[in-house]
Amino acid sequence: MKNYFTITAGRTGSAWLTSFLSANLNIKAVHEPLEINDFGVIMPDIKIMRNFNNFGNNELVKSFWKKKFSYIQNDVYAETNHTLCKCGLVENVILNGLEDVTTLIVLRRNIIKQCVSYIVRNDFQNITLAWQWYLHPTYAKKIINPEPFIKLGGLGLPLWYCYEMSARQEYYSQKFSKKIEMHHIALEDLTKKSGAQDFLNALGFHGVCKLPSPKNENKLKPSDELVGNVSKIVSKVNVDMPQIVEDIIKKGFNFSES
């Protein structure tokens, strides 16, 4: 038995990664289970997402993960669903004794392209989208202070989410990388033949890698002005993410407990 999951944000290439894993691991990888009856059973719903990010790994969240893991019957299972890491994936892999058969893919994307993608799609205009797919700054459990970002207007929430997810990737890496196998890869490297081959080799597969076609590309292209504005703000953000995360861990912060 072997499970592959991701620690990543939305719009970072998770759909493309599904195709990549399917083609190269010779399995039918899962992106997001979206059938009506999947929500709350094998796909986190809003209630589960909000519970974990406000109250931690409570009984409701644990119950979801027991159902989720019992659903997995394949010898090799891969799911690139980015919501999972935002509602207790890592904590419940360990709680259910699956750390030795789990590999976590920490997938990153250029933060400017990532943020612009959210803005072009209006992903943060409706709070229910943030509740179901992303994160919201009103959550009790967060690493990055949202206040400086909120002052930026329409760019603020998408950009805060980018940095919050980067912080969570760092948090899980620092706290659990000795317990669970993790592989870090940037989308920009993974979509190149050499980077994809190196990544596949790191996973333990030594065949010639196959690169699938792009997935879920934005149909609306961002304006040069938008890209310039986001680039300007990002260039001014001075964040020592490893140090920030190290400090909060030392102070006892975690996502599990209320």
State mean pLDDT over 75-93: 98
In this structure, what token pair is assigned to residue 229? 């504005």
Over residues 178-221, the pLDDT tens digits come to: 999 999 999 999 999 999 999 999 999 988 999 998 877 777 78
* 2-250, CATH topology level: Rossmann fold (3.40.50)
What one-letter code names the amino acid at 237?
V
The Cα–Cα gap between 218 and 212 comes to 17
State mean pLDDT over 85-100: 98
pLDDT of residue 257: 87
pTM, two decimals, is: 0.96
Sequence ranges of the domains in the chain = 2-250
Helix residue ranges, H only, 26-88: 46-55, 59-71
The Cα–Cα gap between 147 and 195 comes to 37
State mean pLDDT over 83-91: 98
State mean pLDDT over 152-171: 96
The Cα–Cα gap between 119 and 152 comes to 13
pLDDT of residue 227: 97
- Residue 87, pLDDT > 90, answer yes
Residue 65: other Cβ atoms inside 10 A? 23
pLDDT of residue 241: 98
The Cα–Cα gap between 185 and 169 comes to 12
Using an 8 Å Cβ cutoff, are 94 and 254 in contact?
no
Over residues 96-121, the pLDDT tens digits come to: 999 999 999 999 999 999 999 999 99
